Amino acid sequence: MKKINFYYGLGDKASNYEVLSKYLNIIKIDWNNPEKVKAPKRDIVVGFSMGCLLALDYVEKHRVKKLILCSLPPCEKLVIVKADEIIFMLGSKERFCLQNVRRVYKTLKRKKSIIVVRGADHKIAGKYRKKLLEIASAAS
């Protein structure tokens, strides 16, 4: 499963996701220079919060089988997305994210799904982490 790139959110650091590093390739991000982020080619890419924007930047340049966008921040639409399938994932307590995801979801003409994790908020922990790892392992 380590063949999956993971982009964490603004204000986070790679060490906060050590528990996920057994399963995902945690991409180190310098939020002062996010355009300089380097990531190996992978078939599956995961972004969390503002990390979704870096994941989207990656899939503008590289084709992937699956793009998993966790707690997508507000954006107008996904323009150039070279992904066969897009999975939107968020916690049920993230009402602001759900409205945005539903709006963006409607603009896509490819295989897609929305997964809402009951009782989860804007943090990859507990049920949210369990569901993400379940989806990622099924995808790899």
pLDDT, tens digit (0-9, with 9 covering 90-100), for 48-90: 999 999 999 999 999 999 999 999 998 877 878 899 999 999 9
Number of domains composing the chain = 1
Here the CATH number for the domain that contains residue 122 is 3.40.50.1820
Angstrom CA distances, 81 to 30, 34, 43, 78, 86, stand at: 23, 19, 13, 7, 9
The pTM (predicted TM-score) of the whole model is 0.93
- The mean of the pLDDT values for the chain is 90
Question: CB of 137 within 8 A of CB of 23?
Answer: yes
Instruction: Give the residue numbers spanning the domain of 33.
Output: 4-139
